[in-house]
Amino acid sequence: MFSEPFLLIALAVGLLTGGLCAYLGNFLLLKNMTFISIALAEIAALGVAIGLALHLQPEPIALLLTFAAIIWFWQQGRKGRRATEGQIGVLYAASAALATIVIALNPMLETHGVDLLSGNLLYATGGDLVVVAAVAGIVALPHILFRRQFLFVSFDQETARAEGLRSHLWDLVLMLSIGFFIALCMRFVGVLFVFASLIIPGMAGLALFGRVHLVFYASVIVALCSVLIGFVASFRFDLPTSPAIICTYALFYGACLLWQRAKR
Amino acid sequence: MKLNNQALVEFCGVTIGYGRNRLAENINWRVERRALWGIVGPNGAGKTTMLRVLLGLLEPLAGRVKRTPGLRYGYVKQREALNETYPFTVGEVVMTGRYGLMSWLARPGAEDHAAVEEALTRTGIADLRDQPLRELSGGQKQRTLIARALAARPDVVVLDEPTNDMDIAGEQSVLNLIQQIHERDGTAVIIVSHLLNTVLQIAENLVFLKENEYGVFSKADFIGQNHLERFYGIPIQVLKHSGGSYCVVPNSE
């Protein structure tokens, strides 16, 4: 299996996207914004569908729509009016439906393996891997430099602002970094993989550890292990790749919960 | 630069509220150095709104809030608003009180750790440094929030409902701590609470907020001149204890 270059490339893309989504997802969990993550993933998917249907590069359109949604959520937060679950649900459902319509109107997209739900990891090329790695590096840099600020505004934005931090701006940069990565890796991994990678590894980390930095490390390790095991399982049993990885996430999470219960 | 003889914060004709909903208008109020203020009033009167305007979290609908340049707030938010999703330790939470003093790329240094340690010791929770905040009692969480405010070495400490849902011993412990902060550091303190008796124990001056009305009083004036009955709209009896503290109760006669 590991002698096939296209499989190695697909695995590398999966590890990069799963690992970084797991890290970024901790901020969404901390901010109690779980459902915004799937709305953003679906909005990015809509952008990819529109771009491909118009024979354009899908990433800029995915970025545009994702950033527009993030700025809208951010503006709501600034006004003290957090987006309700209903509003998030509307965005998710409408984006999913529109993306489905766009693909249905362009059957050639399906024949070229465009699967926005489950993704197309196996179609990733060496050039795609370079792009994903570069994007991961661009997103990782502000998180290395400003992790302290991102954690503070996610934990307690109001106090951060009272102390004089420009918490709204830090929050915007954080959310745009997450949206940037989601939009640019959506084409390869699909909505379900992005959503699952943002949420499940972080939940597993919370079940395992009682220290914030350990939760972050554990979430990334769970994601990397799940991607590797799920990828191998999909090859071995001829399963769709992203769903196999997601099921592995869920199994890991279940194991973490059992371990947490046994620890008590 | 702080100007010794001027107010730290001054409300100049400030109107507070949201959109078209004006809660109090034309507020003129000064917070001097070493002052100890209580902001009281019934629920929904605008106390928290006024606090948010004071801290700069909300713009006033009219008027202006002047602040001494470089003014540092120590904000003690309501315990119920704490985010307990992730297991931040007491030490980590208190350290966030230093973040407003650090430059963008800075990491906490020796001075920051020393300030945190001092704040933990003063609030009596140094032994809880490595405990997750979410596993603490209400009183311990309150002390953690106060320690965070102290770590910032503030000019003004602002506390929002600091004794809610506390038993009498816990409440007294927190009030003693607040008084100690005020007396030892000369820090101005502002307490926002709907619990009038709690605030009367330590506040020297009061801002009273009621629907579309506000008043600024010394404690003696507020108690002595029947403002209580006017603001609360019911007969009030003020009981003074031998120790000099007051207790306000409805007058059932």
Domain contains A205:
no
Domain contains A216:
no
pLDDT tens digits for range B156-171: 999 999 998 888 888 8
Query: Do B144 and B164 sit in the same domain of this protein?
Result: no
Domain contains B175:
no
Query: Do B128 and B221 sit in the same domain of this protein?
Result: no
Structure tokens at B156: 């003004």
Query: Do B19 and B3 sit in the same domain of this protein?
Result: yes
Domain contains A223:
no
**ipTM of the shown complex:** 0.91
Query: Do B208 and B251 sit in the same domain of this protein?
Result: yes
Place of tokens 């998180």: A143
Any CB–CB contact under 8 A between A215 and chain B? yes
Any CB–CB contact under 8 A between A160 and chain B? yes
Tell me if B86 and A146 make a contact (CB, 8 A cut-off): no
Residue A158: its chain B contacts at CB < 8 A?
A: 57, 75, 77, 81
Task: Give the count of beta carbons closer than 10 Å to the beta carbon of residue A23.
Answer: 24
Residue B176 CA to residue B1 CA, distance in Å, equals 31
Residue A146: its chain B contacts at CB < 8 A?
A: 104
pTM of the model: 0.91
Any CB–CB contact under 8 A between B43 and chain A? no
Phi-psi region of B27 (alpha: psi -120 to 50; beta: other; left: phi over 0): beta
Any CB–CB contact under 8 A between A209 and chain B? yes
CATH of residue A35's domain is 1.10.3470.10
Domain contains B177:
no
Under DSSP, is residue A12 helix (H, G, I), strand (E, B) or coil? helix
Residue A186 CA to residue A9 CA, distance in Å, equals 16
Phi-psi region of B107 (alpha: psi -120 to 50; beta: other; left: phi over 0): beta
Q: List chain A pLDDT tens, one digit each, 264 residues.
A: 678 888 999 999 999 999 999 999 999 999 999 898 999 999 999 998 899 889 888 889 999 999 999 999 898 888 777 777 888 999 999 999 999 899 888 877 766 556 767 777 888 899 999 999 999 999 999 999 999 999 999 999 999 999 999 999 999 999 999 999 999 888 888 899 999 999 999 999 999 999 999 999 999 999 999 999 999 999 999 999 999 999 999 999 999 999 999 987
**Nearest residue of chain A to residue B107 (CA atoms):** A148
Query: Do B98 and B188 sit in the same domain of this protein?
Result: no
- ∠ CA B229-B42-B154, rounded to 5°: 115
CATH of residue B246's domain is 3.40.50.300
Rounded (10°) angle between helices A241-263 and A212-237 = 130
Tell me if B75 and A148 make a contact (CB, 8 A cut-off): no
List the domain range (segments joined by +) for residue A40.
Answer: 5-189
CA B38: distance to chain centroid? 8
Rounded (10°) angle between helices A126-145 and A147-162 = 40
Count of domains for chain A: 1
Domain contains B240:
yes
Tell me if B55 and A26 make a contact (CB, 8 A cut-off): no
Domain contains A224:
no
Domain contains B210:
yes
For residue A1, the model assigns a pLDDT of 66
Query: Do B102 and B160 sit in the same domain of this protein?
Result: no
pLDDT tens digits for range B121-154: 999 999 999 999 999 999 999 999 999 999 999 9
Any CB–CB contact under 8 A between B229 and chain A? no
Residue B18 CA to residue B61 CA, distance in Å, equals 7
Query: Do B238 and B165 sit in the same domain of this protein?
Result: yes
Query: Do B38 and B90 sit in the same domain of this protein?
Result: no
Check whether B229 has a pLDDT greater than 90: no
Domain contains A162:
yes
**Nearest residue of chain B to residue A143 (CA atoms):** B105
Domain contains B62:
yes
Residue B26 CA to residue B16 CA, distance in Å, equals 9
User: Which residues neighbour A227 within 8 Å (Cβ) at sequence distance 6 or greater?
Assistant: A11, A14, A15, A18, A19, A245, A248
Q: What is the DSSP letter of B102?
A: S
Residue A155: its chain B contacts at CB < 8 A?
A: 83, 86, 88, 96
Tell me if B87 and A211 make a contact (CB, 8 A cut-off): yes
Count of domains for chain B: 2
- Which of B73, B93, B96, B134 should be substituted to probe chain A, the one whose Cβ sees the most A Cβ atoms within 10 Å? B96
Q: What is the dihedral of CA B102, B107, B109, B112, to 10 degrees?
A: 50
Domain contains A212:
no
- Which of A163, A171, A213, A217 should be substituted to probe chain B, the one whose Cβ sees the most B Cβ atoms within 10 Å? A163
Nearest residue, CB atoms, A212 vs list B86, B100, B148: B86
Domain contains A262:
no
Query: Do B148 and B164 sit in the same domain of this protein?
Result: no
In total, the C-beta contacts within 8 angstroms joining chain A to chain B are 72
Domain contains A236:
no
Domain contains B79:
no
List the domain range (segments joined by +) for residue B133.
Answer: 84-154
- ∠ CA A201-A207-A211, rounded to 5°: 95
CA B225: distance to chain centroid? 25
For residue B213, the model assigns a pLDDT of 83
Query: Do B50 and B166 sit in the same domain of this protein?
Result: yes
Structure tokens at B212: 């579309």
Query: Do B186 and B205 sit in the same domain of this protein?
Result: yes
Query: Do B164 and B145 sit in the same domain of this protein?
Result: no
Residue A156: its chain B contacts at CB < 8 A?
A: 77, 82-83, 96
Domain contains B27:
yes
Structure tokens at A12: 């590398």
Domain contains B64:
yes
CA B179: distance to chain centroid? 12
Any CB–CB contact under 8 A between B56 and chain A? yes
Say if residues B205 and B35 touch (Cβ distance below 8 Å): yes
Say if residues A43 and A95 touch (Cβ distance below 8 Å): yes
